[in-house]
Structure 1
């Protein structure tokens, strides 16, 4: 790879009041629990939610999830948006815009001076039922077309910042983050834009995911998400956003930009037919991971940290673990999932995991995954070098590089995988 795509800026918003990469790293390093009660300022039917177990065939819903504290707060005038239009905007647009601005500042760029630049914007996002229906007369009428359109998440960023490159939203369910990263890196590599923003956002406009998984009996019964753990009882929904700045390494070096990490390879595939669409496929994930490793031109044994999908479900975790062990089992990688801290942030989960890997590489420490002291017995750990990251541990570089992997898959049947190279000489510098 003569001129790899590198990450030169990042920003994150996560549950627990986290609004900076430094705050995010502190929470991860301390193995902090970022789960909190349902938000009481969104008009959700809380009493109905908490009584769903009284309905035959539905499981209990705990008063818990990974929610953004300031999802309802936004300064529209700062971005040149009228207050009335801001109310009609899906909060995912608002949060994505704020985080994109912060990512640019993190990269040392002035977001207010980009008007007309050929910059791409690729965002992973899924529909979350914000606001009333369009076929009604209400205060949102007249603004609904752009207010709830998925394409307006990236479009809003491009419009407010004056970015003239490709502006695309990707919805591959929970694989949306890494799918967006894949397309953004390809666009920069192919010359469609000189540089790009890649990210994802999830803010739940309704409590729909909790209803859905209560009916499916796949929701955590104890209000915690426990990836790869024998104690896992189901997934727990969360929210968050992350955005990274991508450019060619030659450009970054020329402009003196700090390199957080290189994107060695990204790949996306689908499970295909056979099983129901929502059931993960070990075989498809294994094929994908092997293709990504081959495209990166590295041995899987050099990968020291793997940020898995890890939803804490009885079906998904063992199938994913089998694929990871088949490819990475010959090494000594440490595996975890940020969902153990903040729940399953759906479309944004992969980007939150990717930023976790970048920060771990920068600090030379593998962030622990919570509940790792009781690994699932549904896979054979004894014949694999793969282990859960049970504590904050030193990340040994390989020839001056720390290699990390990020994996995601979605209910749509899409799988995504990314391999990163983080220069060890960037360790513990300010992010």
Structure 2
């Protein structure tokens, strides 16, 4: 991928929308929660039919860890107006809620850019959505009231297709599953498609709504869940991750198109890149060396001095293996210059939103760039002692701090790492002249 410095007409982000735990349904509400250092964790929802008594007593079984009655859950996961999107009631019920939330967020991202989604039938727009299977609804291999709707009701199969079909887009449309790296992988593919002329513009993003508590069961067996109901990213008090839900979407297009149509430019995508850990260690184990290769390659593509990066939105799963590996890679790349970049993770606010983790982190960086401040990462007052902080300039963001631009531009980076070994990284430039609060 060529860098913005080499590209006279770079790819920009000109629209965005987000839904996060705690009733967050807009970028402004999201920013308020981040700036105020609010934790958005709540008890498990009681309206999903989950076997809570079994789930919350797993630690009584040998080899299983405690599951806390806590997570980051979307308040509006069940809210959907099928008639608005031309969908029948029975089909809507059969649809994975990830499809419903994904359609809603994509629509809002287009409106945020200044486009009317109702006028885009036949538009050369692409759609790239990160999503993982979440076990929603009855089995497909049985006769039930929703048979016939299940083939396109499965979340992973239909989110991008539902969005393209509902709006009328004719560009490339696909779901992306690289586990927790899905969001940034989708952004990478969307940006590449626009640059290659496969579509004029594209929606990129991800969604995670847990149709079942499978993620809690799996990580309880791995003894990798938080034991106190908090996601303490990069903290010495971290005991494991905490699962959450979320959704986000951005609009990417050439800057010339955005300017011509009067779209607001939130940021320029200087570079995105993906790689894989390769073989060796178990598939769930993160690799510092692979992450470092990824970051160095992304910096090279972007064509910038890594010392220009002021904010790093890390992955920050709060796991004993994950955080030290990631911080080591960040210290070896961004932490070795004269600047002192601040690192944090939105997971400390909302939990680990899985496929949607990267897009929430990217939108956090865009909002920080717009407001000229870096929000704090929760639980950062006691940094992990599993890395030597004195060997680099990297520091955790512990409070709301001004973000000074470099030559009129704020540069930020975002990382995501998937459980299957996939890694993704992005570098974004946000010109100060675009700064405004009314969005």
TM more than 0.5: yes
Per-residue Cα deviation, 1:26-73 (whole angstroms, up to 9, x for no partner):
000000010001011111011111110111110111100000011111
Q: Return the alpha-carbon distance in structure 2 between the equivalents of residues 428 and 368 of structure 1.
A: 21
What is the deviation of 1:256?
1.5
Give TM-score, length-normalised by structure 1.
Answer: 0.99
* Matched-pair contact (CA < 8 Å) for 2:98–2:155: no
* Matched-pair contact (CA < 8 Å) for 1:280–1:413: yes
Other-structure match for 2:340: 332
User: Partner of 1:241: helix, strand, or coil?
Assistant: strand
Per-residue Cα deviation, 1:346-387 (whole angstroms, up to 9, x for no partner):
000000000000000000000110001000011111121110
Unaligned residue ranges in structure 1 (runs of 5+): none
Other-structure match for 2:3: none
Give TM-score, length-normalised by structure 2.
Answer: 0.97
User: Partner of 2:30: helix, strand, or coil?
Assistant: helix
Q: Return the alpha-carbon distance in structure 2 between the equivalents of residues 257 and 116 of structure 1.
A: 20
* Matched-pair contact (CA < 8 Å) for 2:97–2:155: no
Residue pairs, 1:120-131, within 5 angstroms: 120-131=126-137
Other-structure match for 1:109: 115
Q: Return the alpha-carbon distance in structure 1 between the equivalents of residues 174 and 79 of structure 2.
A: 25
2:394 is aligned with 1:386: yes
Per-residue Cα deviation, 1:239-280 (whole angstroms, up to 9, x for no partner):
000000000011111111110000000000000111111111
What is the deviation of 1:101?
0.5
Residue pairs, 1:298-377, within 5 angstroms: 298-329=304-335, 330=337, 331-377=339-385
Residue pairs, 1:377-416, within 5 angstroms: 377-416=385-424
What is the deviation of 1:307?
0.1
Other-structure match for 2:265: 259
Alignment root-mean-square deviation, CA: 0.7
Q: Return the alpha-carbon distance in structure 1 between the equivalents of residues 155 and 62 of structure 2.
A: 35
Residue pairs, 1:29-428, within 5 angstroms: 29-329=35-335, 330=337, 331-428=339-436
Residue pairs, 1:10-25, within 5 angstroms: 10-25=16-31
Q: Return the alpha-carbon distance in structure 1 between the equivalents of residues 155 and 214 of structure 2.
A: 18
* Matched-pair contact (CA < 8 Å) for 1:103–1:245: yes
Unaligned residue ranges in structure 2 (runs of 5+): 1-6
What is the deviation of 1:18?
0.4
Q: Return the alpha-carbon distance in structure 2 between the equivalents of residues 249 and 107 of structure 1.
A: 13
* Matched-pair contact (CA < 8 Å) for 1:364–1:428: no
Q: Return the alpha-carbon distance in structure 2 between the equivalents of residues 68 and 394 of structure 1.
A: 30
Detail structure 1 runs of 4+ shifted over 6 Å in the superposition: none
What is the deviation of 1:20?
0.3
What is the deviation of 1:135?
1.5
